[in-house]
């Protein structure tokens, strides 16, 4: 399959060829012709599968054929985070080279005024986070009355982050005649409900099996004690000479503390999280990309949407409380066909989280001990064990769809009940 078969104009084909794209990825092969036909699309594409081009190219193709009416905003892409918004808008700008199309960005955490100024005459494409978009709409900077295309990017994450009310408010302000596309790495009932309400007979594209991790990513779980995690992290990075390692932690304070300690270990590290200013985040990302720093410690929210070429290593310093985050985290590596390694460091108290992850990826992940960092087997878990009956209840709920896989509904404690496996 080549790009010439998808119904894109020669100009756009030349642009993507100049970016080094030779063949369309599976999500592009399926989505581009459908979007060009005017169909609503619901795409279950994993992170790193090329989904941005899958919706951006046909939108650009169609927008570039008709002049924008004065003041109109013609396409809106909603993303959960500013980092993803920046990434998507950058891709739009690249793909729209040589056209007259205007692409604008709107996200929170920075001053409103420059965005108001840039947007007061509308634009062809706006990439925005929901809260800031609403601020601008409420201020009357522009309206969405002429909107032709609406894209929800990483819709599952938008719902996880509690954006549903904002999304409903936005949807009240867009015309019914629009074409809508929804992309999500994972699907659950809330996403299906959103699509039933707001998409018009969508065509379902499932490039990979739902809720699965990318096949080209090698995954390993090391059983390790909490007080050895940092030393093991620095040791692995140093002894294996890993460059550009993205490390996930659960909290902002944890991110700062780990980055500081790793610097003391001689591994140049920065942290990136929601308490940092946009400038500080951009700088950390730039230094990471350019190789000035070797490791970047991130919280899930901050890491969302980072597209870093050639990232080979992800370390889950702590397993995520929301199991779907595991898929998003490790999807930072193994992009566009590259291979990747995802290492998770798991204490005995985190074993119940692995159970949640294994349930949604539907496979047992390999566990091992790292030589020299074997866990102390005399230690007992401080997490209260789940009874067999509550484990069974959760499995039944999951199977019947009552329980969202990965949601943290464990009440006062839970454990896999698995004994620690010796490798």
* For ligand AMP, the closer CB: 90 or 250: 90
SS3 295: strand
| Residue 1 binds ligand AMP, judged by CB under 6 A | no
Shortest distance (Å) from residue 1 CB to ligand AMP: 10
In our burial notation (b when 16+ CB lie closer than 10 A, e otherwise), range 335-357 reads beeeebbbbbbbbbebbbbbbbb
Residue whose token pair is 């769809």? 401
Q: Which of 156, 307, 325, 356 binds ligand AMP (CB under 6 A)?
A: 307
* For ligand AMP, the closer CB: 27 or 137: 27
Q: Which of residues 3-32 bind ligand AMP (CB under 6 A)?
A: 21, 24-25, 28
Shortest distance (Å) from residue 185 CB to ligand AMP: 10
Q: Say which DSSP state 383 is in.
A: S
Sign of the dihedral through C-alpha 138, 118, 85, 107? negative
The number of residues in the chain equals 423
Give the β-pairing of 313-316 and 103-106. unpaired
| Residue 304 binds ligand AMP, judged by CB under 6 A | no
**Which residue in 33, 61, 46 sits closest to 336, CA to CA?**
46
Binding pattern to ligand AMP, positions 33-52, x when CB under 6 A? Answer: ---------------xxxxx
Shortest distance (Å) from residue 247 CB to ligand AMP: 20
If you compute the radius of gyration of the chain from its CA atoms, what whole number of angstroms results?
A: 22
Q: Which of residues 323-342 bind ligand AMP (CB under 6 A)?
A: 335-336
| Residue 188 binds ligand AMP, judged by CB under 6 A | no
Shortest distance (Å) from residue 296 CB to ligand AMP: 17
| Residue 55 binds ligand AMP, judged by CB under 6 A | no
Three-state DSSP string of 103-158: EEEECCCCCHHHHHHHHCCCEEEEEECHHHHHHHHHCCCCCCCCCCEEEECCHHHH
Q: How far is CA 137 from CA 86, 144, 145, 174, in A?
A: 20, 8, 11, 11
* For ligand AMP, the closer CB: 176 or 309: 309
Which residues, in sequence order, are CB contacts of 372 under 8 Å at separation 6+? 235
* For ligand AMP, the closer CB: 51 or 68: 51
| Residue 53 binds ligand AMP, judged by CB under 6 A | yes
* For ligand AMP, the closer CB: 206 or 397: 206
Q: Which of residues 365-404 bind ligand AMP (CB under 6 A)?
A: none
Binding site for ligand AMP (CB under 6 A): 21, 24-25, 28, 48-53, 307, 309, 335-336
């Amino acid at each position: 399959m080549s790009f010439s078969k998808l119904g894109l104009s020669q100009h756009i084909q030349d642009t993507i060829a100049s970016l080094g794209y030779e063949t369309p990825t599976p999500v592009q092969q399926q989505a581009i012709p459908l979007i060009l036909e005017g169909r609503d699309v619901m795409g279950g594409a994993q992170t790193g599968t090329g989904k941005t081009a899958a919706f951006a190219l046909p939108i650009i193709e169609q927008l570039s054929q008709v002049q924008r009416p004065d003041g109109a905003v013609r396409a809106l892409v909603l993303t959960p985070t500013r980092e993803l918004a920046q990434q998507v808008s950058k891709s739009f700008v690249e793909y729209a080279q040589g056209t007259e199309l205007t692409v604008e960005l709107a996200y929170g955490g920075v001053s409103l005024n420059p965005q108001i100024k840039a947007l007061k005459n509308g634009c062809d494409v706006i990439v925005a986070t929901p809260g800031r978009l609403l601020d601008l709409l409420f201020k009357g900077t522009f309206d969405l009355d002429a909107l032709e295309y609406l894209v929800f990017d990483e819709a599952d994450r938008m719902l996880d982050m509690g954006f549903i009310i904002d999304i409903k408010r936005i949807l009240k302000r867009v015309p019914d005649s629009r074409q809508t596309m929804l992309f999500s790495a994972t699907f659950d009932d809330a996403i299906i409900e959103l699509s039933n309400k707001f998409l018009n007979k969508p065509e379902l594209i499932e490039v990979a099996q739902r809720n699965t991790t990318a096949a080209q990513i090698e995954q390993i779980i090391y059983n390790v004690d909490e007080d050895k995690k940092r030393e093991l992290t620095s040791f692995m990075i140093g002894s294996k000479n890993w460059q550009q390692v993205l490390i996930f932690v659960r909290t902002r304070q944890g991110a700062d503390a780990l980055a500081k300690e790793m610097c003391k270990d001689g591994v140049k590290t920065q942290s990136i999280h929601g308490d940092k200013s946009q400038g500080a985040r951009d700088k950390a990302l730039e230094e990471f990309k350019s190789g000035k720093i070797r490791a970047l410690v991130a919280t899930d929210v901050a890491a969302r949407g980072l597209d870093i070429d050639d990232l080979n290593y992800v370390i889950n310093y702590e397993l995520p409380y929301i199991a779907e985050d595991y898929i998003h985290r490790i999807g930072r590596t193994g992009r566009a066909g590259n291979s990747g390694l995802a290492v998770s460091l798991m204490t005995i108290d985190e074993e119940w989280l692995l159970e949640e992850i294994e349930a949604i990826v539907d496979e047992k992940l390999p566990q091992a001990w790292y030589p020299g960092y074997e866990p102390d087997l005399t230690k007992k878990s401080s997490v209260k064990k789940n009874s067999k009956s509550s484990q069974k209840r959760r499995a039944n709920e999951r199977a019947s769809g009552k329980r969202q896989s990965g949601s943290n509904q464990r009440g006062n404690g839970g454990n896999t009940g698995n004994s620690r496996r010796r490798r």
